[in-house]
A and B are shown apart, each in its own frame.
Chain A
Amino acid sequence: MIEGVSLFEILSLTTVLFFVGIYGFLTRTNLIAMLMSLELMVNAEAINFVAINKYLSPAVLQGQIFSLFIIALAAAETALALAIILHLYRLTENIDVKEVEELKY
């Protein structure tokens, strides 16, 4: 628990962070920038779990364990996405989603 900072302020921060991530994901066309926006969202959730655990139910450490798993899985997901993006770059020399698209309606 941080002195002088309420749960409301922390949750406001993480909500803003989350929606900045969604905005970035929807507006960027560069795959790496989209991946960074995803990271923002996942980090917002990790903070969320820790803060809620600390302020609302400090007796059981469920939320902190959860955020550890979130960090690990986010790293795995990023590694997988980067591998695929790298392969796409080798094939097309481009990672802009608007220009590499072949599959359409």
Chain B
Amino acid sequence: MNLDSLLLMRDELLLTLIILVLLVAEIIMSPKNKKYIIQLALGLFGLYTIISFMPIPKGSLFGGSYQTYPLVHYFKAILATGVFLILLQSVDWIKEKLLPYDFSAEFFILLFASLLGLNFMMSAGDFLMFYLGLELSTMPIIALTTFEFWNHRSIEAGVKYVMLASLSSAILLFGVSLVYATAGSINFDVIKGALHLPLLEIIGLIMIFIGIGFKISLVPFHFWAADVYEGAPTVISNYLSVISKGAAVYVLMTLLFITFTAFQKEWNWIMYGTAILTMVVGNLFALRQQNMKRFLAFSSIAQAGFILLAMLSNNALGVKAIVYFLLIYIFSNVAAFGVVHVISLKTGKENIDDYNGLYITNPKLSLVLMIALFSLAGIPPVAGFFAKFFLYAAAASKGYYVLIFIAVLNVTISLYYYLLPVRAAFLRRSDKAIPYFKSDNYSRLAFIITMIGLLVLGLYSGVFEFISHISNIL
């Protein structure tokens, strides 16, 4: 092993370096200079995001426990972009809430550590690396969930999250131990070829699916999502619903499509049932929500159900449909959560009724909200339509027409509730409308980037062609 081969894990090494620099900066900076940590972290992470788009060759390290190939590398770059957008939105929150307590450096360190864990989890070549990455990504986020520690709701969200996350990871580990017993190894490549005791291995696979399904918040395991999203700081809800969910979907995809592809007949039925349950339950509960954060939580549960449509296909079309959908989903959900975050920070209001008359007082913000929700709903000129279309195409390639019909019914339901906040903002009038306010330059930049992303990604086909060019991983 030499330096060149170590550079295969450039993303992770750079991220570790940033974390160390921030740790040192936190120690040596004098208290009155602490506010420059925000600029330092933003600058370093922006640089990292740009560097992460440069190509890395295919290869593996440490006896195959770390693997990298173009698709996973560019997916890491997409996640880094998403985290950068979330950071831009969170600057005013950090300045207002965390700087007085001198917690800003810890916020960045924990967030970057979680992203590091997700990167390792996606590049894992065996279950040990996978489990370590999963835990490294979960634990900092649990700590961040409780960061508004003067607020009872934030602590309660943290307690719920830490308990259920530990339960799900314990169940996942038991599944891993069963798979280890049947295959005699924890390497994905060995497990793929060794299928001695199918029944035990299927039980193990179901337990692993429960563990990952918890992170994606699929329906029997979704109970934590709404409570944690509502109680946690909005920035962290944003991260949970976008970045951590996206990475978990990617890992589930590689596990099912590559490692456990021999059991496709069995897991197809699990996916089929879970997809229907997730879409229906997510949509029906989203209908009756008044709080915007709970509303977006259930909408993100329903979106996870749509992703499972493409999981059924087990072919290259499925891979590119999932990656493209996640790319669009990151942009649209970051924009929607960003609007909720800005309004909740400036006025403390989070209910849909509070948005009445928003268009008159804050026209630009309500336009951003409208485009983001249209993209989540899948209305044509915006990118979300094409993302959903490819998911349907992937499911149709294996002939699941009944499932597609159910999905289309669910999209119709979801149109109703996605249009509720838009109706409140544009058509309703209110005497107590949210007054005009100027959001800071960082969150404006984030909104501009997401809007350009949503409009360009839908109209310009080059991105999808690039994804389909690199997604031949099966």
Question: Contact residues of A with B, CB < 8 Å?
Answer: 11, 18, 21-22, 25, 31, 34-35, 38, 41-42, 44-45, 48-49, 52, 56-57, 60, 62-63, 65-66, 69-70, 73, 76-77, 80-81, 84-85, 87-88, 91-92, 97, 100-105
Which one of B135, B160, B162, B184 contacts A73 once the chains associate, using CB atoms below 8 Å? B135
Judging by beta carbons under 8 Å apart, are A77 and B184 in contact? no
**Who on chain B is nearest to A45 by CB?**
B173
Contacts of B152 in A (CB 8 A): 91-92, 102
Judging by beta carbons under 8 Å apart, are B132 and A69 in contact? yes
Contacts of A45 in B (CB 8 A): 170, 173-174, 177
- Tell me, rounded to whole Å, the shortest Cβ–Cβ distance linking A21 to chain B: 7
13 A/B residue pairs, CB under 8 Å, sorted by A: A38-B166, A41-B174, A45-B177, A52-B177, A62-B185, A66-B180, A69-B131, A76-B139, A84-B158, A85-B159, A87-B155, A103-B226, A105-B285
Q: Could you tell me which residues of chain B, from 136 to 183, have a CB within 8 Å of some CB in chain A?
A: 139, 142-143, 146, 149, 152-153, 155-160, 162-163, 166-167, 169-171, 173-174, 177, 180-181
Which one of A25, A69, A70 contacts B167 once the chains associate, using CB atoms below 8 Å? A25
Which one of A56, A87, A101 contacts B146 once the chains associate, using CB atoms below 8 Å? A87
Judging by beta carbons under 8 Å apart, are B163 and A52 in contact? no
Contacts of A48 in B (CB 8 A): 174, 177, 181
Judging by beta carbons under 8 Å apart, are B139 and A62 in contact? no
Which one of B173, B181, B285 contacts A56 once the chains associate, using CB atoms below 8 Å? B181
Contacts of B132 in A (CB 8 A): 69, 73
Contacts of A60 in B (CB 8 A): 185
Bound-complex Cα distance A35 to B163 (A): 8
Q: A45-B173, A45-B174 are in contact. Are A52 and B156 (CB under 8 A)?
A: no
- Tell me, rounded to whole Å, the shortest Cβ–Cβ distance linking B130 to chain A: 11
- Report if B227 contacts A (CB, 8 A): yes
- Report if B128 contacts A (CB, 8 A): yes
- Tell me, rounded to whole Å, the shortest Cβ–Cβ distance linking B196 to chain A: 10
- Tell me, rounded to whole Å, the shortest Cβ–Cβ distance linking A14 to chain B: 8
How many chain B residues sit at the interface, stated as a range, is 35 or more
Most chain A CB within 10 A, of B135, B169, B177, is at B177
Bound-complex Cα distance A85 to B166 (A): 14
- Tell me, rounded to whole Å, the shortest Cβ–Cβ distance linking B177 to chain A: 4
Contacts of A22 in B (CB 8 A): 167
Judging by beta carbons under 8 Å apart, are A66 and B230 in contact? no
Q: A77-B166, A80-B142, A87-B149 are in contact. Are A65 and B128 (CB under 8 A)?
A: yes
**Who on chain B is nearest to A25 by CB?**
B167
Q: A63-B180, A77-B135 are in contact. Are A88 and B143 (CB under 8 A)?
A: no
Q: A76-B139, A77-B139 are in contact. Are A42 and B173 (CB under 8 A)?
A: yes
Which one of B153, B167, B181, B185 contacts A38 once the chains associate, using CB atoms below 8 Å? B167
Instruction: List 17 other contacts, CB 8 Å, given A34-B163, A73-B132.
Output: A22-B167, A31-B163, A52-B177, A52-B180, A62-B180, A62-B185, A66-B131, A76-B139, A77-B169, A80-B139, A81-B159, A84-B142, A87-B146, A102-B152, A103-B227, A103-B231, A104-B227
- Report if B186 contacts A (CB, 8 A): yes
Interface membership of chain B positions 174-207, coded 1 if the CB is closer than 8 angstroms to chain A and 0 otherwise: 1001001100111000000000000000000000
Question: Contact residues of B with A, CB < 8 Å?
Answer: 126-128, 131-132, 135, 139, 142-143, 146, 149, 152-153, 155-160, 162-163, 166-167, 169-171, 173-174, 177, 180-181, 184-186, 226-227, 230-231, 285
**Who on chain B is nearest to A82 by CB?**
B162
Contacts of A84 in B (CB 8 A): 142, 146, 155, 158-159, 162
- Tell me, rounded to whole Å, the shortest Cβ–Cβ distance linking B106 to chain A: 14
Judging by beta carbons under 8 Å apart, are B174 and A103 in contact? no
Contacts of A65 in B (CB 8 A): 128
Judging by beta carbons under 8 Å apart, are A81 and B227 in contact? no
**Who on chain A is nearest to B140 by CB?**
A80
Q: A31-B163, A81-B162 are in contact. Are A103 and B156 (CB under 8 A)?
A: yes
Contacts of A81 in B (CB 8 A): 159, 162-163, 166
Bound-complex Cα distance A95 to B169 (A): 23
Bound-complex Cα distance A27 to B152 (A): 24
Judging by beta carbons under 8 Å apart, are A103 and B153 in contact? yes
Bound-complex Cα distance A66 to B173 (A): 10
Which one of A11, A38, A49 contacts B170 once the chains associate, using CB atoms below 8 Å? A38
Judging by beta carbons under 8 Å apart, are A101 and B156 in contact? yes
For the complex of A and B, the 4 pairs showing the least CB-CB separation, nearest first, are: A48-B177, A41-B170, A103-B227, A57-B184
Contacts of B142 in A (CB 8 A): 80, 84
- Tell me, rounded to whole Å, the shortest Cβ–Cβ distance linking A64 to chain B: 11
Judging by beta carbons under 8 Å apart, are B186 and A62 in contact? yes
Bound-complex Cα distance A87 to B152 (A): 10
Contacts of B171 in A (CB 8 A): 41
